[in-house]
Structure 1
């Protein structure tokens, strides 16, 4: 089963990281409007599952996808099997999920710069992320698709790229964006 091998980190020098990524690819800027759903007892979130409706706006064009993520197969990186499909009507998905007894866990907006390139023999996507509610913080997500038996090698390939653009293992993010945004809203 394919796994989204992903590493997420804080970017301490956004200008330097953007310049390094721009040497590999032109950025595509998008805004992601994400709504996460869960059972009323939040057991999906607690057990590592995610159900998300994401509307991506790029150059005035909109696309919506529904994503279901299983629990992490690698606890350190939080890499998860992911299932995703396009949908035409996010409001219909909200109606379906609510009718099934799910509740909105959280909604948030991510401002993204996506850089797609090949490195270490793998197709990769680097995304520079800012979230308005986490002002002053910039993150990078670097991902590639791998099989479970290839996950360690895939994560190693991602680590090489991050090291090469000045993002170290010490910059790794332990919390999810949803948890960080929820904490910011509670403070």
Structure 2
């Protein structure tokens, strides 16, 4: 499956929260992400290897994610493969022992809104990354490659409804964090 995703910078957080809150109640979550690489093998070929731990008021779960190279340059959408892991420390130990290094570690404070839009199961996530200024909205849905462009159009329509069509961000959080840390 491909994660069709668009990300926008949010200037009026209250308005976005209001619109999304009319769709569904949010779920607060904290994402602890650790990205791994080996001699620029992943980043040099536009791929990602990540262990993410998601904590909510009700649960805590960890996921190993592998993202292949972009299939849509403008949005940055990538084929994504995930599996839940019961012991993220064991996965980290395996990766480190096999030559991977920790590329970047980051925290995302999120409000997740899952709802139907234009026939798609959409996850809209209002994101605050402590090391970055401002807020972001990620809108995503999982689709087959054949449905990617239609899904991206629908996600674009959702951002237009929110007044964010001119605020698209194509960069990654990892790149933004590394740039912020190098200043």
TM above 0.5: yes
CA–CA distance in 2 between the matches of 1:114 and 1:85? 20
Contiguous gaps of at least 5 residues in structure 1:
none
CA–CA distance in 1 between the matches of 2:29 and 2:179? 25
Aligned length: 183
Report the counterpart of residue 15 of structure 2 in structure 1.
Answer: 16
- Alpha-carbon shift at residue 174 of structure 1 (Å): 2.3
2:168 to 172, 179, 184: 172
2:108 maps to 1:125: no
> 1:53-77, CA deviations, whole angstroms, 9 ceiling, x for partnerless residues?
0011100621111000000100100
CA–CA distance in 1 between the matches of 2:70 and 2:171? 13
Contiguous gaps of at least 5 residues in structure 2:
none
CA–CA distance in 2 between the matches of 1:95 and 1:145? 30
SS in 1 for 2:175: helix
1:86 to 74, 84, 87: 84
Q: TM-score, normalised by structure 1?
A: 0.95
Report the counterpart of residue 47 of structure 2 in structure 1.
Answer: 49
- Alpha-carbon shift at residue 43 of structure 1 (Å): 2.5
1:108 to 98, 102, 106: 106
- Alpha-carbon shift at residue 5 of structure 1 (Å): 0.3
2:56 maps to 1:58: yes
Report the counterpart of residue 183 of structure 1 in structure 2.
Answer: 179
CA–CA distance in 1 between the matches of 2:142 and 2:94? 29
Report the counterpart of residue 73 of structure 2 in structure 1.
Answer: 75
